[in-house]
A and B are shown apart, each in its own frame.
Chain A
């Protein structure tokens, strides 16, 4: 099941710079996309989401961009901080057919160094 793909297992960014995490999906029925952040020994924490009717959603330092034609979304973190170091999961849902079941990517380990 590779419906959601995060092709970069890791990303290293200097503090203050932009972090860009990418995600691709294959199922055209997905209409809602979410980013989760996960620290070791904790559950995923919801960060930000976007509906397929939008192409951008912003919340503070976090912005998610959606390109439906390319089936691609990205999470931008500006400016990056050391506390942002975590695994970031992209997830997608087809709200019309399931009770909000989420399909996750494999995650990208973000490391923000001082």
Chain B
């Protein structure tokens, strides 16, 4: 069964450093998303991406965040200057045109120290 692949599975970074979280969505999917889950809290929407541009972003997705689809397969989330409160599980997801049941990756646990 096709999968959404995320790397790394765990990233530890110092506060103020830049991190890039990587995702390979399912190949024929057109819509891409990033969500995050802070420990003990609910899964929260960050951003949606379609046709090489951001479609929607939440209030969490401020100027420190950016997304990119640099080639035909990768979808990345960059945090320019990490803060302690950015520590969370970050999930990438994708879906095709007709199916609203996203496929999520297994997540990247980001720990900011």
Chain A residues within 8 Å of B, Cβ to Cβ: 1, 32, 34, 36, 41-46, 49, 89, 91, 93, 95, 98-107
Q: Are A46 and B56 in contact (CB under 8 A)?
A: no
Assuming the A-B contacts A43-B4, A43-B91, are A99 and B43 also in contact, with contact meaning beta carbons closer than 8 angstroms in the complex? no
Would you call B87 an interface residue if the criterion is a C-beta within 8 Å of the partner chain's C-beta atoms? no
Tell whether, in the assembled complex, residue B101 and residue A46 are in contact, meaning their CB atoms are under 8 Å apart.
yes
Query: Which chain B residues border A32 with CB–CB below 8 Å?
Result: 100
Given the contacts A93-B100, A106-B42, A99 and B56 also touching, CB distance less than 8 Å: yes
- Inter-chain CA distance A89–B42, complex, in Å, is 9
Interface residues of B (CB under 8 A from A): 4, 6, 31, 33, 35, 41-45, 48, 50, 55-56, 91, 93, 95, 100-107
A-B pairs with lowest CB-CB distance, top 8: A43-B104, A46-B101, A99-B55, A104-B43, A99-B48, A106-B42, A43-B106, A44-B104
Residues of B within 8 A of A98 (CB): 48, 55-56
Q: Are B100 and A99 in contact (CB under 8 A)?
A: no
